[in-house]
């Protein structure tokens, strides 16, 4: 029989145990071991049966046990302490509250299509979501007033299992929000708050808003599975990254437009300050900018002025250097959803379409590009590692024609990971025995190199003992998971005796786990199977490998890679040394990273924007073995691991490149990694290895923290955005929009006409100065509308400037009879070797951050004559 209705009966906790409910409903338990231990004590067996999820646990504890606990004085004392601790955490002054900067925003709204906060709230598929979860948690630890905004997917992402022959199977378990650590946002009268979007043909999309408490940070999740919706609208939030293009568009409209409406409702009901800054985590949430333009235009602000106001307070983070990773919609589809009778009435559809238009060479006129819109709607944008910043500037340079890629206004903030989530309790305990629990907690949350120095004093034997303990735990975990997987693949217990011999706690353990898009090259290690087998079965220096990863359900290529790996690891010859574990997720990841001695990553450089799993391994003393891509390109040091040499040139074909890089990987493992691991000194300790572990913890640890990342966001992006937002009141936005229109109209008349040089010393010597005098025509503009600059730097054989520095020139008269203005100023020859300069004119306005903001520049033409673009050798 099938039930026609389902609902959840909540437990009634005896009065003395009421605080348990608050502790369960704030997800801080997911990164606070003491709170977790308290829940475990409620019902040790029930705890693992409930998947270490306090809400589920409380739903299943027998009433008799609750009564017993309500009289247990020791338990009640622990409960009171945990409850007080949470209270302090939620109300106390933290880093943000001690900053003196008056420009800090009152609140920031952080939008993301997925959030990986804990395995108990499975609303993520991979790195993007985990990063978003870590961002919220670190913001909470730092006291940053963030509000998260996302969607509640009724089926989350899929659960992965394997068929007998190793083909990926997908299951989509239904999640009941009433059984999740969520509460429904209700209005003052107790009715659920409803967000409503108008769809074409008179249809309507309704959503409820669920609130998760991530420490101090509320996370609002919109849910379209409500009775008011028709069947297809109910399914809008069915699953993460499922469905076709229209489905995706509706999800993104709900996230961006509905998300802003949810934030407004939340702030109005709770008194939470209104966000001054909106952060778009990847293009998917980009419609939030359009909704804010609509809000302003309803108050009579023009589209252009509203655009300026919105841009000032928006931050956009791009996460992918893979063009296929960017959302693009059919233009017509977008037009239909933002047209007559649909959403954002009052906004000109043509203007909306322009924002997502790929205007650069090679761009598709029939597509609407969410990343392009994201960049146009945000005054500040960033990539997620130094290398990815550079790659993104190149990738989007077409949006700023006339500028070199280095000047494209996309900066970078390197990702980090939330240490309290990812550091194994054993590692944390070792640290807190040295410096005390509070100090250790602060070190993980806030960083600070001095707090981490204490790692230097931990004796070799203690570090090695810890590493062994973690490896051993992993071995146990792997066997349990592998047995469950084989049962599911149809094996009977009698066939599975061999699993007790899978992995060896004494053997060098390499981990490799990630989603399976082709650029991550899951199967690179299989390139030469014999070679790999030799490494696995080496008589004295064997290695063992644990692999995990999900392929996107629509990606049969990825599923074939998974199958190849599974089939290899099913082979009785090697199956005790290499395993594939299905259903990679946060729960598995938390066990996997600490137990691996080496974390392997071999993407096609430079396609890994940052990568964070290696950071999580490092925080537990794992060494990295990786291609110099993403974060590893930035922070690699020989003390932290090994760099796999790459053959990434435009000339190498893919097959050959894989061969070369796989060969390099085998060589490294055989010649460098394994010998070091097995080179034992007194008491069986590999001293050089332990030295690397110590150095990784002490010197790399403080850099890879999400706390460091969020502080950078606050200082470099949120605070300037808040300041820009405040300066951009209605009048300023109106004036700026008019000014931009005037500048654009006048720009064809802006030219560099003549450049004169007066070489003070007569020779081009290091340190000497050139006096420049430039004549320019500004058409209808005035000198205060522009910056005239000399730009100087090294030149190559084609006279292209590199590392160019701007030297501002000052107005020095005009206009003359031809309407020309004179600008002048010194240019210092600050480097030796081939050197060159040119002169350019950029629009300049006090409310604009970067010279390239408008994408307009005037450079000398061939006919400017002698003096322009002078080169000296």
Ligand X SMILES: *Cc1c(COP(=O)(O)O)cnc(C)c1O
Interacting residue ranges for ligand X, rule: CB under 6 A: 126-127, 130, 514, 584-586, 589, 611-613, 616
Q: How far is the CB of 133 from ligand X (least distance, A)?
A: 9
CA distance 193 to 209: 7
For residue 863, the number of C-alpha atoms closer than 13 Å in the C-beta half-sphere is: 2
Q: How far is the CB of 126 from ligand X (least distance, A)?
A: 4
Burial 41-61 (b: 16+ CB within 10 A, else e): ebbeebbeebebbbbbbbbeb
Q: How far is the CB of 248 from ligand X (least distance, A)?
A: 21
Q: Which is nearer to ligand X, 125 or 544 (CB)?
A: 125
Q: How far is the CB of 525 from ligand X (least distance, A)?
A: 16
Contact (CB, 8 A) for 825 and 765: no
For residue 303, whether the previous peptide bond is cis, meaning omega lies within 30 degrees of 0, is no
Contact (CB, 8 A) for 760 and 769: yes
Q: How far is the CB of 130 from ligand X (least distance, A)?
A: 4
Q: Which is nearer to ligand X, 90 or 119 (CB)?
A: 119
CA distance 141 to 95: 8
Q: How far is the CB of 589 from ligand X (least distance, A)?
A: 4
Q: Which is nearer to ligand X, 614 or 702 (CB)?
A: 614
Q: What are the two backbone dihedrals, phi and then psi, of residue 613, each rounded to the nearest 5 degrees?
A: -65, -35
Residue of 551, 603, 706, 718 lying closest to 132 (CA atoms): 706
Which H helix or E strand runs over 58? helix 54-60
Q: Which is nearer to ligand X, 126 or 622 (CB)?
A: 126
Residue of 863, 764, 783 lying closest to 824 (CA atoms): 783
Q: How far is the CB of 99 from ligand X (least distance, A)?
A: 29
Residue of 579, 616, 598 lying closest to 678 (CA atoms): 598
DSSP state of 672: I
Q: How far is the CB of 92 from ligand X (least distance, A)?
A: 29
Q: How far is the CB of 585 from ligand X (least distance, A)?
A: 5
CA distance 116 to 113: 10
Q: How far is the CB of 318 from ligand X (least distance, A)?
A: 15
Q: Which is nearer to ligand X, 235 or 612 (CB)?
A: 612
CA distance 52 to 861: 68
Q: Which is nearer to ligand X, 275 or 611 (CB)?
A: 611
Residue 721, classed as helix, strand or coil, is helix
- How far from 331 is each of 253, 348, 528, 654, CA to CA, in Å? 15, 14, 46, 34
Measure the CA dihedral 480/486/492/494, to 10°: -60
Q: Which is nearer to ligand X, 315 or 548 (CB)?
A: 548
CA distance 760 to 848: 35
Q: Which is nearer to ligand X, 592 or 737 (CB)?
A: 592
Q: Which is nearer to ligand X, 126 or 542 (CB)?
A: 126
Q: How far is the CB of 178 from ligand X (least distance, A)?
A: 25
Count how many residues are written for the chain: 873
Q: Which is nearer to ligand X, 122 or 686 (CB)?
A: 122
Q: How far is the CB of 648 from ligand X (least distance, A)?
A: 19
Contact (CB, 8 A) for 616 and 586: no
Q: How far is the CB of 583 from ligand X (least distance, A)?
A: 10
Residue 493: alpha-carbon gap to chain centroid: 42
CA distance 83 to 16: 12
CA distance 660 to 667: 11
- How far from 16 is each of 12, 20, 73, 80, CA to CA, in Å? 11, 9, 10, 10
Measure the CA dihedral 546/131/120/139, to 10°: 140
Residue 478, classed as helix, strand or coil, is helix
- How far from 623 is each of 428, 497, 510, 638, 671, CA to CA, in Å? 18, 32, 9, 10, 16
CA distance 705 to 200: 45
Q: Which is nearer to ligand X, 549 or 702 (CB)?
A: 549
Q: Which is nearer to ligand X, 128 or 185 (CB)?
A: 128
Q: Which is nearer to ligand X, 376 or 703 (CB)?
A: 703
Q: How far is the CB of 172 from ligand X (least distance, A)?
A: 18
Q: Which is nearer to ligand X, 129 or 181 (CB)?
A: 129
Measure the CA dihedral 432/143/153/60, to 10°: 50
Q: How far is the CB of 614 from ligand X (least distance, A)?
A: 6
Q: Which is nearer to ligand X, 130 or 147 (CB)?
A: 130
Q: How far is the CB of 603 from ligand X (least distance, A)?
A: 9
Contacts from 77-81 at CB under 8 Å and sequence distance 24+?
78/38, 78/41, 79/16, 79/17, 79/19, 79/20, 79/23, 79/38, 80/19
Q: Which is nearer to ligand X, 368 or 584 (CB)?
A: 584
First to last CA, the chain: 87
Q: Which is nearer to ligand X, 301 or 705 (CB)?
A: 705
Question: What does the H/E/C string look like for 601-658?
Answer: ECCCCCCCCCCCHHHHHHCCCCEEEEECCHHHHHHCCCCCEEEECCCCCCCCCHHHHH
Q: How far is the CB of 613 from ligand X (least distance, A)?
A: 3
């Amino acid at each position: 029989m099938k039930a026609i209705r389902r609902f959840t009966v909540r437990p009634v906790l005896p009065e003395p145990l009421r605080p348990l409910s608050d502790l369960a409903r704030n997800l801080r338990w997911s990164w606070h071991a003491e709170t977790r231990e308290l829940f475990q004590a409620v019902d040790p067996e029930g705890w693992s049966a409930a998947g270490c999820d306090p809400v589920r646990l409380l739903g299943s504890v027998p009433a008799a046990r609750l009564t017993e606990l309500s009289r247990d004085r020791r338990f009640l004392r622990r409960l009171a302490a945990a409850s007080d601790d949470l209270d302090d955490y939620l109300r106390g002054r933290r880093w943000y509250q001690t900053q003196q900067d008056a420009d800090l925003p009152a609140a920031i709204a952080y939008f993301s299509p997925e959030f990986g906060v804990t395995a108990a709230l499975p609303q993520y598929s991979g790195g993007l979501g985990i990063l978003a979860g870590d961002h919220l948690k670190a913001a909470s630890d730092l006291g940053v007033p963030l509000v998260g905004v996302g969607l509640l997917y009724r089926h989350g992402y899929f659960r992965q299992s394997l068929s007998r022959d190793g083909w990926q199977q997908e299951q989509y378990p239904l999640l009941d929000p009433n059984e999740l650590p969520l509460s429904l946002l209700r209005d003052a009268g107790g009715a659920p708050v409803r967000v409503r979007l108008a769809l074409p043909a008179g249809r309507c999309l309704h959503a409820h808003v669920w609130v998760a408490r991530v420490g101090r940070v509320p996370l609002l999740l919109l849910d379209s599975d409500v009775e008011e919706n028709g069947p297809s609208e109910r399914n809008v939030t069915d699953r993460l990254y499922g469905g076709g293009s229209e489905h995706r568009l509706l999800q993104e409209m709900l996230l961006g437009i509905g998300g802003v409406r949810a934030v407004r409702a939340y702030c109005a009901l709770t008194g939470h300050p209104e966000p001054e800054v909106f952060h778009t985590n990847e293009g998917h949430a980009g419609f939030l900018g359009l909704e804010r333009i609509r809000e302003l235009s309803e108050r009579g602000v023009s589209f252009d002025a509203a655009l300026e106001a919105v841009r000032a307070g928006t931050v956009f983070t791009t996460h992918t250097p893979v063009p296929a990773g960017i959302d693009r919609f059919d233009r017509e589809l977008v037009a239909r959803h933002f047209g007559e009778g649909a959403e954002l009435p009052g906004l000109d559809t043509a203007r909306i379409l322009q924002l997502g238009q790929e205007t650069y060479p090679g761009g598709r006129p029939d597509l609407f590009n969410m990343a392009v819109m994201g960049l146009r709607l945000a005054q500040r944008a960033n990539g997620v590692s130094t290398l990815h910043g550079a790659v993104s500037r190149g990738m989007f340079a077409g949006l700023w024609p006339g500028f070199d890629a280095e000047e494209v206004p996309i900066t970078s903030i390197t990702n980090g990971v939330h240490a309290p989530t990812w550091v194994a309790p054993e590692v944390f305990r070792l640290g807190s025995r040295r410096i005390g629990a509070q100090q250790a907690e602060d070190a993980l949350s806030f960083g600070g190199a001095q707090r981490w120095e204490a790692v230097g004093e931990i004796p070799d034997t203690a570090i090695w003992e810890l590493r062994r303990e973690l490896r051993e735990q992993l071995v146990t975990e792997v066997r349990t998971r592998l047995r469950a997987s084989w049962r599911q693949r149809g094996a009977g217990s009698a066939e599975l005796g061999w699993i007790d011999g899978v992995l060896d706690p004494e053997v060098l353990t390499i981990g490799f786990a990630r989603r399976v898009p082709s650029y991550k090259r899951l199967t690179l290690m299989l390139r030469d199977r014999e070679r790999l087998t030799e490494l696995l079965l080496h008589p004295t220096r064997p290695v063992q490998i644990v692999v995990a990863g999900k392929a996107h359900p629509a990606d049969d290529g990825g599923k074939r890679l998974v199958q190849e790996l599974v089939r290899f690891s099913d082979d009785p010859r090697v199956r005790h040394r290499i395993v594939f574990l299905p259903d990679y997720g946060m729960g598995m990841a938390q066990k996997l990273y600490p137990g691996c001695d080496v974390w392997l990553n071999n993407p096609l450089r430079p396609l890994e924007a940052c990568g964070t799993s290696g950071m999580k391994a490092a925080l537990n003393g794992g060494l990295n073995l990786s291609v110099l891509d993403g974060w590893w390109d930035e922070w690699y040091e020989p003390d932290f691991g090994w760099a796999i040499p790459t053959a990434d040139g435009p000339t190498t074909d893919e097959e050959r490149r894989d061969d070369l890089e796989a060969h390099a990987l085998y060589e490294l493992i055989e010649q460098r990694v394994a010998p070091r691991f097995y080179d034992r000194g007194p008491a069986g300790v590999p001293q050089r290895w332990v030295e690397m572990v110590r150095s990784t913890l002490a010197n790399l640890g403080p850099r890879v923290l999400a706390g460091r990342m969020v502080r950078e966001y606050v200082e470099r992006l949120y605070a300037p955005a808040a300041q820009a937002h405040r300066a951009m009141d209605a009048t300023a936005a109106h004036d700026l929009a008019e000014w931009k229109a005037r500048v654009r109209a006048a720009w064809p008349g802006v030219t560099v006409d003549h450049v004169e040089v007066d070489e003070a010393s007569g020779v081009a010597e290091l340190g000497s100065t050139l006096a420049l005098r430039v004549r320019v025509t500004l058409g209808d503009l005035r000198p205060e509308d522009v910056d005239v600059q000399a730009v100087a730097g090294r030149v190559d054989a084609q006279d292209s400037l590199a590392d160019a520095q701007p030297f501002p020139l000052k107005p020095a008269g005009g206009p003359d009879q031809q309407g020309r203005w004179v600008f002048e100023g010194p240019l210092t020859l600050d480097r030796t070797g081939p050197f060159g300069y040119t002169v350019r004119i950029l629009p300049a306005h006090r409310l604009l951050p970067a010279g390239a903001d408008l994408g307009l520049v005037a450079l000398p033409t061939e006919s400017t004559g002698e003096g322009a673009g002078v080169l000296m050798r």
